[in-house]
Each structure stands twice: as structure tokens, then as C-alpha cells.
Amino acid sequence: MATSEAEKGRHDGPILGTPGDFPDRPERKGRFVVHVVIAILCAVCAGGWGYVMWAAGGDTEVSNQVIAFDASSGDSVQITFEVSKPTDRAVLCQLQATDVNHVEVGSREVNIPPGEGYVRLTERLETSAPATSGAVHYCYLV
């Protein structure tokens, strides 16, 4: 029986061989352990990153918003802002003034006592140099 050229070149095993074809290759023991260790490290890193992102979210019970600021005076900034908070809690907010290079030229903390849940305030902030903007840096419950 004659065999064609295509059938002669046909190989029935894997192209690169099997592990038995390479007797000088050392066996890899502990591969499962390495994969488990890598999986545990990945899980710890993912959990740590999740915690960092959750903690960086801050206190969601207090929200603030700058309504307006007036930096036309050379030695102060007037900031009008709103704070929404639980009515039974006090809040501490830090106001911040920055110059044209975004360098802080003034800051001050403002205490908002318990009582109203929605408060609108206008505060004057002294500055060490002419400011170009005013903002609420943070607000949190005390």
C-alpha cells in the first residue's frame, strides 16, 4: 500500500513533545503551593486597596458646597458656603484661600454647632498675600 507524502509527514503526538520526551528536565514540585501563595498575595493586595478606597471616601454624612467667594480685597477672601449635616451633630470645616499658583495664603477652621441640618454661612478669611480663590477644604463631624 502506498502512502502519500502528506500522510508520511503526519505526526500523531504533540508538536513540542510530551514530558516523557525530555528526561533531563527536572520535575516541578510545589507548583500548586506557589499558585496558592500568589493568589493569597493578590487577595490581600486587593482587600487592602479596597479598604484604602473605602476609607478615602470620607464622611458621607456631611456635604459642603461653595456658593461664592470674593477675593477682590488684597488681604482677605469672603467665602459663602453651604453645609448639610445631621441636626444633632456639630461640624468642623476648614476654609482655605489660595493664590494664582495654588499656594495656600490663608486658612481657618469654622465650628458649626448642632441644630439645623442645612446651614449657609458667609465667612471672612484673612490672607497673607492676595488670593485668587476660596474653598472649603474639608468638613467633618465632631
How does pLDDT run across 7-36, given as a tens digit for each residue?
566 767 777 777 777 777 666 677 888 889
All three cell numbers of 100? 494664582
Q: Where are the beta strands (DSSP E) in 36-75?
A: 63-70
CATH numeric code, 63-141: 2.60.40
Domain positions in the chain = 30-59, 63-141
- What local confidence, expressed as pLDDT, does residue 22 receive? 73
Closest by Cα among 134, 138, 83 to 112: 83
Q: Note if the pTM is more than 0.85.
A: no
- What local confidence, expressed as pLDDT, does residue 6 receive? 54
Instruction: Name residue 65's beta-bridge partners.
Output: 82
pLDDT digits (tens, 9 = 90+) for 38-57: 999 999 999 999 988 887 76
Query: In this predicted model, which residue has the larger pLDDT, 141 or 18?
Result: 141
Q: Is 5 exposed, middle or buried (0-12, 13-18, 19+ CB in 10 A)?
A: exposed
pLDDT digits (tens, 9 = 90+) for 72-120: 988 999 999 999 999 999 999 999 999 999 999 999 999 999 988 899 9
All three cell numbers of 134? 476660596
* Interacting residues of 121 by C-beta distance below 8 A, sequence separation 6+: 80, 81, 82, 83, 110, 112
Question: For the residues 123-141, what does the mean pLDDT come to?
Answer: 93
Cα distances (Å, whole numbers) of residue 64 to 67, 84, 97: 10, 6, 16
- What local confidence, expressed as pLDDT, does residue 109 receive? 95
Q: Is the pLDDT of residue 69 over 70?
A: yes
Asked if 57 and 138 touch (Cβ cutoff 8 Å), the reply is: no
Q: Is the pLDDT of residue 2 over 70?
A: no
